[in-house]
Amino acid sequence: MTQADRADIDSIKRMIPHRHPFLLIDSVEQIHLGESAVGVREVSAEEPYFAGHFPGNPIMPGVLIVEAIAQTAAVLVIRSLDMMDANLIVYMMTVDRCRFRKLVRPGDRLELHVRILRSRGKVWRVQGHAMVDGKAVAEAEINAMMVPPEDQSRPE
């Protein structure tokens, strides 16, 4: 098992194209190249989606939790391939075995535990578990395709 440095927000921006308000991870820690990592999101009351989801009862949308898992996985894969600054795009192809267990609210520290299940060429399968205070809030398995700049006009 090879461990890499953690990825701070500046490193993350060099690996994935997402930006505010759709960059949903603040850092990636415990990176074990080719194996696993833990993304972190400090959920703020200022998140733009809380204004409408739901007024007076702010809850982080489940699809954004899954997206945060996918972004963490993208950083792990790009870091594992040593392709920082390669402008790769990671397209989600499938989301399987998705479950939402508990609500995520402002003030929560969302941890996104991802593990690579397999890779086949451009396609990667990862398993993700989202946790708050050591308790599972969501889980999913995601198939995603890594697309280099020359292929980004249209994924196959």
Cα–Cα–Cα angle for 68, 74, 75, rounded to 5 degrees = 95
Q: Does 53 qualify as catalytic in the annotation?
A: yes
Question: Looking at 18, 20, 32, 53, which residue is catalytic?
Answer: 53
Q: What does the DSSP 8-state code read for residue 154?
A: S
Distance CA(42)–CA(109), nearest Å, equals 5
C-alpha distances (whole Å) from 62 to each of 71, 79, 117, 150 are: 14, 26, 22, 32
**Contact indicator for 142, 94 with CB cutoff of 8 Å:** yes
* Residues annotated catalytic, as ranges: 53
